[in-house]
C-alpha cells in the first residue's frame, strides 16, 4: 500500500518595518532591488503570520494554500519559485540519503493565518512569505541558514527576506544577475538595543489602492527623482543607519528613518500617474511627532510609512509617555485608530 502518511511542520514569522525603504526592482522576476534596505523586526507577540506546511500522497495532485481561511492562487511565479527552490534542496538531500522519505515529489498543503490586517501596508507579504519558506524548510528538514532562506523568500516578496531575522536587518541589494548575493543579514540583534519600541497607528485596515509590486514598476519607469534616490540618497542613508544602529544613536536613527520615509513618498508623488499612500490622518501623525520632538528639545520619536497610510512610530522605552501617551491622546479618538507599544523581536524567537 502507498504511504499516505501526513508530514507537517509549523512556524511563525514576524513583520519587519523598513527604516531605509526598498522601492524599485532591477529584476522583477527574481525580485532584485535597485537599492539596499534596512528594517527592524517587530515582536511576534503583536504581529505575525503562523503557517503550517504539510505534504502527503493523500492530498491529491495539487499544491494548495489557505490564507486566513481563503484559498489562494499558488500558480503565480513567485510562489512557484519558492516551492521549486525548496523542493530542489529537499531533492538533493533525498539523493544523498536513500533512507529519507521522498517528500519533494508530494503535493504541499499550506495553511497561514495573520493576526493583523492583510495588505494594508503592514508588511503582510513579508511575514507571509518568510513563514511559508521556513515552514516548508522545516517540513523538509533543510539545513539552510536564515540567509540561505532569505534568498528564497526574496523571490516570494522582496521584503520577506528581512523577516527571516529578528533585530536590525539589512537586505544587501547584491550585484549578481542570478541574485545569489541579494540576501538579508543581521546588522544587530534585538538585545543590542533593547530599549527600542514601535507604535503602529492603524489609520486604515483596508487593502491598499496600488500594490507595491505594480507601484514600484511604474516608479522605475516614470520618476526622474527615483534615480537620485536609488543612487545617491539611499547609499548615504544605509551608511548612516547602520552606524546609528551600531552606536545606538537614536537621534540619527530617527532622523534618517523620517527622511528616508519622506524620500520614498516623494518618489511616489513623482511617479506618473502619482501614487498617494499618505492621507490626512497620516499627515496629522507627522505633525504630532514633530510637536513631540519640538517639545522634547531633541528627537525622541520617528515616523515612517510604507505603501499605505498607517504610521509606525519608533521611540525609546524611557520616552513612552512623552511619545505613545501624546500620540494616543492626540489621535486616539479617530475611527479605526489603534496603538500598540511593540518591542523588537529576537532572532532566537523567530
d(CA 172, CA 38): 9
Nearer residue to ligand 2P0 within complex by CB, 90 or 265: 265
Could you tell me the smallest distance in angstroms from the CB atom of residue 45 to ligand 2P0? 21
Nearest partner of 250 among 296, 282, 287, 284, judged by Cα: 296
CB of 305 to ligand 2P0, least distance (A): 8
Question: By CB under 6 A, is residue 172 in contact with ligand 2P0?
Answer: no
C-alpha cell at 139: 517540513
Stretch 301-320: interaction string toward ligand 2P0, x if CB under 6 A = -----xx-------------
Find out whether 219 and 267 touch, Cβ atoms under 8 Å.
yes
Residue nearest to ligand 2P0 (CB): 158
- Calpha distance 329→167 (Å, rounded): 29
Which is nearer to ligand 2P0, 90 or 154 (by Cβ)?
154
158 part of the interface to ligand 2P0, by CB under 6 A: yes
For 100, phi then psi, to 5°, come to -75, 140
C-alpha cell at 138: 522545516
Segment 117 to 156, residues that bind ligand 2P0, using CB under 6 A? 123, 125
Instruction: Examine residue 31 and tell whether it contacts ligand 2P0 (CB under 6 A).
Output: yes
Q: Which is nearer to ligand 2P0, 181 or 317 (CB)?
A: 181
Is residue 157 a contact residue for ligand 2P0 (CB under 6 A)? yes
How many residues contact ligand 2P0, by CB under 6 A? 15
Q: Tell me which of 80, 213, 266, 284 binds ligand 2P0, using CB under 6 A.
A: 213
Task: Identify the sign of the CA torsion 265, 268, 270, 273.
Answer: negative
State the nearest-atom distance from the C-beta of 10 to ligand 2P0, in Å: 23
Looking at the Cβ atoms of 220 and 301, the one nearer to ligand 2P0 is: 220
- Residue 166 CA to residue 189 CA, distance in Å, equals 7
Taking the C-alpha atoms of 66, 69, 73 and 79 in order, what is their torsion angle to the nearest 10 degrees?
-40
Cβ 309 to ligand 2P0 shortest distance, Å: 12
- Write out the three cell numbers for 252: 540619527
Looking at the Cβ atoms of 203 and 292, the one nearer to ligand 2P0 is 203
CA distance 39 to 160: 11
Closest CA to 82 of 164, 18, 17: 164
**Angle made by CA atoms 210, 83, 30, in degrees to the nearest 5:** 50
The strand pairing partners of 315, in sequence order, are 197, 301
Q: By CB under 6 A, is residue 257 in contact with ligand 2P0?
A: no
Q: Which of 37, 52, 144, 263 binds ligand 2P0 (CB under 6 A)?
A: 37
Contacts with ligand 2P0, residue ranges (CB under 6 A): 18, 21-23, 31, 37, 123, 125, 157-159, 212-213, 306-307
Amino acid at each position: 500500500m502507498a504511504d499516505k502518511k501526513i508530514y507537517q511542520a509549523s512556524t511563525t514569522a514576524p513583520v519587519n518595518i523598513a527604516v531605509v525603504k526598498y522601492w524599485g526592482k532591477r529584476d522583477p522576476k527574481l525580485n532584485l532591488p535597485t537599492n539596499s534596505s534596512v528594517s527592524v523586526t517587530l515582536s511576534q507577540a503583536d504581529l505575525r503570520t503562523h503557517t503550517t506546511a504539510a505534504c502527503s500522497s493523500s492530498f491529491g495532485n495539487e499544491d494548495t494554500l489557505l490564507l486566513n481561511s481563503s484559498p489562494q492562487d499558488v500558480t503565480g511565479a513567485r510562489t512557484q519559485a519558492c516551492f521549486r527552490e525548496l523542493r530542489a534542496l529537499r531533492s538533493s538531500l533525498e539523493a544523498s540519503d536513500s533512507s529519507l522519505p521522498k517528500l519533494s515529489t508530494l503535493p504541499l498543503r499550506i495553511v497561514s493565518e495573520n493576526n493583523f490586517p492583510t495588505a494594508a501596508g503592514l508588511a503582510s507579504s513579508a511575514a507571509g512569505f518568510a513563514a511559508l519558506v521556513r515552514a516548508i524548510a522545516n517540513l523538509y528538514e533543510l539545513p539552510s541558514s536564515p540567509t540561505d532562506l532569505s534568498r528564497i523568500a526574496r523571490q516570494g516578496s522582496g521584503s520577506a527576506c528581512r523577516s527571516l531575522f529578528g533585530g536590525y536587518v539589512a537586505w544587501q541589494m547584491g550585484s549578481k544577475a542570478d541574485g545569489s548575493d541579494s540576501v538579508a543579514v543581521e546588522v544587530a540583534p534585538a538585545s543590542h538595543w533593547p530599549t527600542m519600541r514601535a507604535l503602529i497607528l492603524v489609520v486604515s485596515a483596508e487593502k491598499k489602492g496600488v500594490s507595491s509590486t505594480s507601484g514600484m514598476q511604474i516608479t522605475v519607469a516614470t520618476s526622474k527623482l527615483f534615480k537620485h534616490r536609488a543612487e545617491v540618497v539611499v547609499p548615504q542613508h544605509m551608511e548612516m543607519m547602520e552606524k546609528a544602529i551600531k552606536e545606538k544613536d537614536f537621534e540619527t536613527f530617527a532622523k534618517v528613518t523620517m527622511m528616508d520615509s519622506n524620500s520614498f513618498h516623494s518618489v511616489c508623488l513623482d511617479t506618473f500617474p502619482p501614487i498617494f499612500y499618505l492621507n490626512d490622518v497620516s499627515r496629522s501623525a507627522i505633525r504630532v511627532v514633530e510637536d513631540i520632538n519640538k517639545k522634547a528639545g531633541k528627537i525622541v520619536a520617528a515616523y515612517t510609512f510604507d505603501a499605505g497610510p498607517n504610521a509606525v512610530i519608533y521611540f525609546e522605552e524611557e520616552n513612552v509617555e512623552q511619545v505613545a501617551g501624546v500620540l494616543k491622546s492626540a489621535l486616539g479618538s479617530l475611527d479605526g485608530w489603534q496603538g500598540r507599544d511593540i518591542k523588537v523581536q529576537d532572532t532566537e524567537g523567530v
